[in-house]
Amino acid sequence: MEAQAWKTGGCLTASPETLAKNWESRKAFVLAPWQAPPEVIIEDRDVAVDRHNQILFKTSRDRPLILYTDRNGIEGKVGAAVVVNLEDHIAHSQLGDDDTSTVYAAELRTIGMGLALVLNSTEP
């Protein structure tokens, strides 16, 4: 298909004699169109800090695992960072410039770093 794309005018264009002459078009969604979107709660800074402090005052047995991740592309550089409330672990990584990496790759990197910190923790 890709090899003939330049001849026929697009990567999803097939010649009329093929079975693929009529393509079904679909839009990409994170969820299926009939599924309800996830509930997202974005609090202002003060409320978020209060909620975080309430969680930290719980006993370690009742306290959930907290991971904060950040990824960004600033001034041509792409980076990733994660903070885990287990033993106050912090990790950061410079992925490179925006020609060789993306913030999406940085987000995946933060997930990997967070999992590694949790799995390597000595805390139960």
Encoded amino acid at 111, one letter? I
99 within some domain: yes
71 within some domain: yes
Residue whose entry in the numeric block shows the structure tokens 């979107």: 37
5 within some domain: no
For range 81-104, the mean pLDDT? 80
83 within some domain: yes
Structural domain tally of the chain?
1
Confidence label for 6 from pLDDT (cuts 50, 70 and 90): very low
At 100-124, the pLDDT tens digits run 888 888 888 888 888 888 888 766 6
Confidence label for 1 from pLDDT (cuts 50, 70 and 90): very low
Separation CA 106–CA 83 (nearest Å): 15
Structural domain containing residue 112: 65-124
Confidence label for 3 from pLDDT (cuts 50, 70 and 90): very low
Burial 21-60 (b: 16+ CB within 10 A, else e): eeeeeeeeeeeeeeeeeeeeeeeeeeeeeeeeeeeeeeee
Separation CA 114–CA 124 (nearest Å): 16
